[in-house]
A and B are shown apart, each in its own frame.
Chain A
């Protein structure tokens, strides 16, 4: 299973956690990998904790990222970092909301896509698949602002890279 990449995306209901994990799973799928994406969803009410697991590689078995096996943990909401931290492997990459300053985005609703952009900088999926996945999962009028958010996140992660203290 060493060839399998494990990513967990977490946040609060209404923040776009599931849209982000859909995009990630779709990008990996378009890149030709075996993919499994899993979460428990169903309630309409907003505000509760939400997290979603994505695994991709040559062959994925369980759809759930095993405990402390996430290579990348993306968290959209500061209060959700600690409760999800145990999911990250000791040498894994944590991408938190502070990576993108509160004023940085044209629309803060694109934070999910911006942080996905940051994750894309550390995942081996070609950029064209990310963009195709983004387009496939968002209404057309949202493409531009989200492409921009994605690029901002990707650039921010690249700028930070090299000195990631876990």
Chain B
């Protein structure tokens, strides 16, 4: 039974493949361009959950895989930094059910703070990695990734890129399977990574990778286009289609599994061409691997490491053209919505000339005029630690102006440990952390998180209460500010706290302008179900309250 062809984005194709592969639970944390995978999986009827962050998402998935069921974990590239700790050691374990980790890289930084190339993780952690070029391959490789994961009992990385995630292309789906029924089978040496078990486990991992490399040589997915032997192009991911359009007359080899590489296949290809060029986005990962294997792969000018590739840039690489590229006309940058409560926060911080240790979310736009009120922004959660570091060493007059600003989703993601640090190692001048609670993960398209009281599908669930949490950590001065209250002066409230030498948390509360109408609908739907099925003892919690 195969379904009719569909026009799907790469993200949608991964979700459909996960459904067809019998995935029992999808986990992840939102992050452009990966977010739509779990949202689509849920819409298609799959069971999907947002975790507080990527590390937890991978750990939950690992449990599912140990239980013998199939599971998919999704995140953006920087999410894998957060999940790196479980990833590296999960690679040593023997899984029972298939575990596929989607890393959505963002060459060109359409919506990211860096353009790291996560193929380095494949090699560093020793996890086989597939790289689709379009939605059909995103579908096929997701299915394949589960088969590989179960055959070798190893996590598999599916490395997507923004262009593949967000482009819609035609997909022919295949028949679905139902994964195995989960059940616990004890296997202590394969799952408890104390040194005595981890030593043989590391050797097992290397043996698995050797087998997978041999499989990739013999049966791995590849495409070979006969063409003029004068130019041989090896390409991966979306670069494969750019390369074919840029040089239709050339001989092309592209392959789906970029770790471990099908080196012998590439060696044979190289032997038949006069010139060997590698076309890949990001770091020269494949190019360097080929050179290390003694193949005469041509490098490219350094400028093509930066940003996405396209047909014009591939033509330039092939021509060895290192002249400056035309700069595309600058578009209008996004700005905070009218009526967004973040505006009021950054007006106050600007007017008080605060030194703002910022974080990632819509509110990062507080860095741009008319606010220009953010001084640092590195990674999610960093606002608190960086703010504390500044406070510890700056002269008192400056230290007193330091404020950490963090969004509600970001706070649960990785701000909690920063708050524990603040309680444990308080700076002499105290510190002020502002949590901007807009009841959603706005930046990535309005996803739920543990602080909203709603699950991924927007149905009600338990809610983490930030003020109770901050108090429980030992912070005495915790203030909740209703940002819709016109009579209030946020500026005064901040100034008061900066003058003291205490630890303070201000939680500013007002739903995101775009989320507010949706939240009202979710609350209404929840109230209707609650009224229909009274649950003794379970108090329905209202969001934003």
- Minimal Cβ-Cβ distance residue in A for B513: A46
Asked if B134 is at the interface (CB within 8 A of a chain A CB), the reply is yes
* Chain B CB within 8 A of A97 CB: no
Q: Is the CB of B329 within 8 A of A86?
A: yes
B285 contacts the other chain (Cβ, under 8 Å)?
no
What chain B residues lie within 8 Å of A49 (beta carbons)?
Answer: 331-333
**Alpha-carbon separation in the docked complex, A32 to B38 (Å):** 29
Judged by a CB distance under 8 angstroms, whether B330 is at the interface is yes
Which of B236-244, B461-469, B480-488 is the interface stretch? B236-244
A103 at the interface (CB under 8 A from B): no
Task: Given the known inter-chain contacts A42-B445, A44-B514, please indicate yes or no for A36 contacting B168, CB distance below 8 A.
Answer: yes
Q: In the complex, are the beta carbons of B337 and A43 less than 8 A apart?
A: no
Chain B residues whose C-beta falls within 8 Å of the C-beta of A34 in the assembled complex: 170
Contact with A along B315-328 (1 / 0, CB 8 A): 00000000000101
Is A12 interfacial (CB-CB < 8 Å)?
Answer: yes
Provide the B344-388 mask, 1 if CB < 8 A to any CB of A, else 0. 000000000000000000100100000000000000000000000
Residues on the B chain within 8 Å of A40, using CB:
33, 108, 110-111, 162-163, 166
**Helix, strand, loop or mixed for chain B's interface?**
loop
A106 CB within 8 Å of chain B: no
| CB-nearest residue of chain B to A12 | B332
Interface flags, A58-91, vs B, CB<8A=1, else 0:
0011111011000000000001101110100000
**Residues of B with C-beta under 8 A to A48:** 331-335
Tell me if A113 is interfacial: C-beta within 8 Å of chain B: no
Selected from B242, B330, B444, the residue in CB contact (under 8 A) with A42 is B444
Query: Given A38-B163, A42-B111, A62-B311, are A83 and B362 neighbors across the interface (CB < 8 Å)?
Result: no
Residues of B within 8 A of A26 (CB): 7
> Does any Cβ of B come within 8 Å of A45's Cβ?
yes
B307 to chain A, nearest CB (A): 12
Assess the B168–A35 pair: CB atoms within 8 A. yes
Tell me, yes or no, whether A39 is within 8 Å of chain B by CB: yes
Q: A36-B134, A47-B332 are in contact. Are A1 and B245 (CB under 8 A)?
A: yes
Interface residue A25 (Cβ < 8 Å from any Cβ of B) = yes
CA distance A51 to B340 in the complex (A): 24
Within 8 A of B (CB), among A127-151: none
A28 to B329, CA, bound (A): 29
Report the interface size class on chain B: 35 or more
* Cβ-based interface call for B113 (8 A): no
Q: Does A166 contact B (CB under 8 A)?
A: no
The reply to whether B443 and A44 form a contact with Cβ atoms under 8 Å apart is: yes
- Given the known interface contacts A29-B7, A35-B168, A46-B337, the answer about A61 and B244 at a Cβ–Cβ threshold of 8 Å is yes
- Which residues from chain B contact A154 at a C-beta distance below 8 Å? none
Counting CB contacts under 8 A, is A41 at the interface?
yes
Please report the total number of A residues contacting B with Cβ < 8 Å: 37
Report the Cα distance A86→B7, complex, angstroms.
28
A37 at interface (Cβ–Cβ under 8 A)?
A: yes
Q: Is A96 an interface residue (CB 8 A)?
A: no
Chain A residue, CB-CB nearest to B308: A64
The minimal Cβ–Cβ distance linking A25 to chain B, given in whole angstroms, is: 6
Distance (whole angstroms) from the CB of B36 to the closest CB of chain A? 9
Q: Which residue of B lies closest to A48 (CB)?
A: B334
B78 to chain A, nearest CB (A): 14
Residue of A at shortest CB range from B9? A37
User: Residue B183 at the A interface, CB < 8 A?
Assistant: no
Whole-angstrom distance between the alpha carbons of A131 and B455 in the complex? 36
B49 to chain A minimum Cβ distance, whole angstroms, is: 21
**A38 in contact with B166 (CB, 8 Å):** yes
A–B Cβ pairs within 8 angstroms, 18 of them? A25-B7, A25-B168, A35-B170, A36-B168, A37-B168, A38-B166, A38-B167, A40-B108, A40-B162, A42-B111, A42-B445, A44-B444, A44-B512, A47-B332, A61-B242, A63-B169, A64-B242, A83-B328
Where the two chains meet, the residues of A that have a C-beta atom closer than 8 Å to any C-beta of B are 1, 12-13, 22, 25-26, 29, 34-49, 51, 60-64, 66-67, 79-80, 82-84, 86
Given A36-B169, A44-B512, 14 more A-B residue pairs with CB atoms under 8 Å apart are A1-B248, A12-B332, A37-B168, A38-B163, A40-B110, A42-B166, A42-B444, A44-B443, A45-B337, A49-B333, A51-B331, A62-B311, A64-B310, A66-B311
